[in-house]
């Protein structure tokens, strides 16, 4: 197993933002031993010892750009492996310096929380506005549906009126047919009565003519 050692000089916003604590957690998680400390020029120095694979991976994950940490560049130098470290530790400065860094880190996190809170509030406002817009559109659609239903109701009313008029016309037609039937029946009755009357009259005339003919015959008058 190849063990190697690398020294890193980290440039950027890396002091008083909690960068050393993050580096320590990453190192321990990946089985790396060494140390991390602040430099006077606001850079951070990391010395890391471990396997070649672990150091290669560690070199990538310490390049952090996650507010408030902002690594701008990293100088890397390989050194002979010494095995002097039993763990990975943070080399801290005097108490006043460390307290100031803790305070700065806390302020940075509070600012971050405030930023996220504002973003969340803005997103909530946008979401509410979108909901209002959606409700307005739904109201407009419902109004259009109501208007369409009103038109359908008016059309149905007109259809009912037309059906009512058709029923009236059919009723009148039925009345006319009934009157026609009655007229036909009356005509048939008149024709039958007239026939009987005429037959009776013709029978009477025939009888009278026969009587006259007999009387003339008795008187010796012949009728040809």
Residues annotated as catalytic (active site), given as ranges: 20, 38
* Three state DSSP letters for the chain: CCEEEEEEEEEEECCCCCHHHHHHHHHHHCCCEEEEEECCCCCEEEEEEEEHHHHHHHHHHCCCEECCEEEEEEEEEEECCCCCCCCEEEECCCHHHHHHHHHHHHHHHHHHHHHHHHHHHHHHHHHHHHHHHHHHHHHHHHHHHHHHHHHHHHHHHHHHHHHHHHHHHHHHHHHHHHHHHHHHHHHHHHHHHHHHHHHHHHHHHHHHHHHHHHHHHHCCCCCC
How far apart are the C-alpha atoms of 34 and 144, rounded to whole Å?
73
């Amino acid at each position: 197993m190849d063990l190697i050692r690398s020294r890193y000089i980290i440039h950027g916003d890396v002091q008083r933002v909690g960068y050393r604590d993050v580096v320590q957690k990453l190192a321990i998680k990946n089985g790396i031993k060494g140390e991390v400390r602040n430099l006077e020029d606001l850079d951070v120095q990391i010395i890391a010892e471990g396997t070649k694979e672990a150091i290669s991976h560690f070199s990538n994950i310490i390049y952090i750009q996650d507010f408030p940490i902002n690594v701008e560049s990293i100088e890397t130098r390989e050194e002979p492996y010494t095995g002097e470290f039993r763990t990975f530790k943070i080399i801290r400065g005097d108490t006043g310096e460390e307290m100031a860094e803790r305070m700065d880190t806390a302020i940075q996190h509070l600012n971050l929380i405030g930023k996220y809170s504002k973003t969340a509030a803005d997103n909530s406002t946008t979401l509410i506005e979108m909901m209002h817009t959606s409700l307005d559109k739904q109201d407009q659609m419902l109004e259009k549906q109501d208007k369409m239903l009103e038109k359908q109701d008016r059309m149905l009313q007109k259809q009912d009126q037309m059906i009512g008029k058709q029923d009236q016309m059919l009723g009148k037609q039925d009345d006319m047919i009934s009157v026609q039937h009655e007229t036909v029946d009356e005509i048939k009755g008149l024709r039958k009565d007239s026939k009987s009357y005429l037959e009776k009259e013709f029978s009477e005339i025939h009888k009278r003519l026969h009587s006259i003919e007999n009387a003339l015959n008795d008187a010796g008058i012949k009728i040809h």
